[in-house]
Amino acid sequence: MNLEEENQEKRMHIPLTKDEWITFFFFPFKNDGGILNTHEINKKEDERFEKYGFELKKKQADKARKNGAVFYAVIVLLIMIIVNW
């Protein structure tokens, strides 16, 4: 195994960075256009994960998106409860 293959193998097992995780968490929904088109950013990251075989990062990104969606659902629910109280 040469150095390039070793480095590629190491990258496959490296988890998401905090910045990547935060991006997937706070922008889990599709955003069509606009100033901050986070959907395109996340889509490109997903393509990169698929292309290079970063399965760990893909799983973590999916989990961060699910957690982000739950976070926003809880916020909306809390706002609805507070307004109706």
- The model's pLDDT over 11-36, given as tens digits with 9 standing for 90+, comes to 888 899 999 899 889 988 755 555 55
- pLDDT at res. 64: 93
Q: How confident is the model at residue 3 (pLDDT cuts 50, 70, 90)?
A: confident
CA distance 85 to 82: 5
pLDDT in tens, 34-78: 555 666 777 888 888 888 888 899 999 999 999 999 999 999 999
Q: CB neighbours of 18 closer than 8 A, spacing ≥ 6?
A: none
Which amino acid is it at 69? A
